[in-house]
Structure 1
């Protein structure tokens, strides 16, 4: 999957195809995007409007709820095999998901603290963090300051989840950007996510997919610099200087990652 993952309410099957067309993968949401009275209709829509299972993720309701049980009953009748588990907090929460690839959504205080344990589970392929549910679980009212930047607790959770995923070589997915009209703010946050090591960023509107993709794609200048640096490294042993800058093994790994993200052949 690519870097732009677009949430789509599962009770809006009329939007399924458009969401998948605009993004790298679609997250059909049975949880927060669907009102309690509409959840049964949402589950039936999953059956009636199948999408490409390789590019579709289904977000199911939290473990231990009646909706979670009903979600899994319907999910077994589909071809979908990648699940996002809302409010994941422990191995026990994944008890019914043995046959699925799981993206564990760490969006409560307990879930963020358990991120390392969740990442260690064999069928967990990635972690995502969620800011608003996290702050709500702490009794707070907003994850961001008036200027739009994350509060310290949200930044801590973001880093915790990224580190936990990276420790186990699992994908890390950055949280959504709620201000749909602020594409510049989204782009800046997505660029930071890509530079920090996140694999993808979730979106809540089709207009956000493009800026996310561009943020995760290195520029021509960045790609050319990485290629030149790795070419120069072929004749060097250990630390060396390149264009006035010290270069060692970590910087070479950065350059190789740039080429991977750009889809270019690696230079060893």
Structure 2
């Protein structure tokens, strides 16, 4: 199994828009070339040809293929096999049987139905699964619902449960968890708050549907200078401590030290500087969003 190294800002790109491939990869940390929902059924054959004829960096590219059992599934797999891409996103992953059909690929399992969410732990345990992502709108549709979010923009309880289930399943088996897309494109503050929560909760990346969301997601996953400074000072203090100790009024044990190490590890996330409205400091962080080590 190959470790997943893509992220944190991952951008969907319709596979039938080869004119956007390179631009998408310029803006994002990784691209999902989408053969499923972003492409009309009558355009999928052409999209597969474009996928083959317009190669991107396979280390930064995922191909989303149609679900097992659909008319497009076998043709999608055959097309990907003609490329250098070896990481696929399997739409509507539900069972180990689904995963067995794509055993030759590194798989990001997209859990977006009730059965997929319930089976997330066994899906995460599969050796060729490198990550899990959840999908809110398809999940609610599979339940016969009409919307994953309240009028306030926050998720309904069923969506929050599914999000947590996928995150816990991925974490239990050492796989990356990818947070779902934020579909209100102009709402950068809402995206920022949700992305900060995703990072603080343990998601390794967040998927997105618009290039303008890239900088916002990166900002959310990048620690503030104040966080970096405090984490460095805390770890320095730990070198002279013996066991549990107190730092600036806070009890510090091994989990808190791991939080600090994670903050320093995230310093290398690039900032493309293309969205000035997304700039974040400890002062303008959305209300109620978690702050490590404060």
Give the TM interval when normalised to the shorter protein.
Answer: over 0.9
Structure 1 residue matching 2:108: 3-state secondary structure? strand
Alpha-carbon distance between aligned partners in 2 of 1:205 and 1:215, rounded to the nearest angstrom: 16
Normalised TM-score (structure 2): 0.89
Check if 1:83 corresponds to 2:79. Answer: no
After TM superposition, give the deviation of residue 95 of structure 1 in Å. 2.1
Q: Which residue of 2 is the match for residue 59 of structure 1?
A: 64
Please give the per-residue CA displacement for 1:193-216, whole angstroms capped at 9, x wherever unaligned. Answer: 000000000010000011001110
Within the candidate set 22, 25, 36, 1:17 is matched to 22
Q: Deviations over 1:40-69 (max 9, x none)?
A: 111011011111111000000001112011
Please say which of residues 236-245 and 5-14 is displaced more in the overlay.
Answer: 236-245
Q: Which of residues 97, 103, 118 is equivalent to 1:98?
A: 103
Alignment of 1:123 with 2:128, yes or no, is yes
Q: TM-score, normalised by structure 1?
A: 0.97
Q: 1:201 aligns with which of 185, 198, 206?
A: 206
Measure the CA separation in 2 of the matches of 1:5 and 1:11. Answer: 18
Question: How far apart are the structure 2 equivalents of 1:245 and 1:112?
Answer: 37
Q: Which residue of 2 aligns with 1:30?
A: 35
Residues of 2 paired with 1:209 and 1:125: CA distance? Answer: 22
- 2:118 aligns with 113
1:227 aligns with 2:224: no
Distance 2:255 2:42 in 1: 52
Aligned to 1:132: 137
Q: Give SS of 2:31's match.
A: strand
Q: CA–CA distance in 2 between the matches of 1:257 and 1:140?
A: 38
Q: Could you tell me which residue of structure 2 aligns to residue 40 of structure 1?
A: 45
Residue in 1 that maps onto 2:223: 218
Stretches of structure 1 that go unaligned for 5 or more consecutive residues are: none
Give the superposed CA RMSD. 0.9
Moved over 2 A (4+): none
Secondary structure of the corresponding residue to residue 260 of structure 1: helix
1:246 and 2:251 aligned: yes
Unaligned runs of 5+ in 2: 1-5, 270-294
Q: Aligned partners of 2:244, 2:165: CA distance in 1, in Å?
A: 31
Q: How does 1:182-201 map to 2 (within 5 A)?
A: 182-201=187-206
Secondary structure of the 2:72 match is helix
Counterpart Cα distance in 1 of 2:261 and 2:105: 31
In 1, Cα distance between equivalents of 2:259 and 2:35:
38
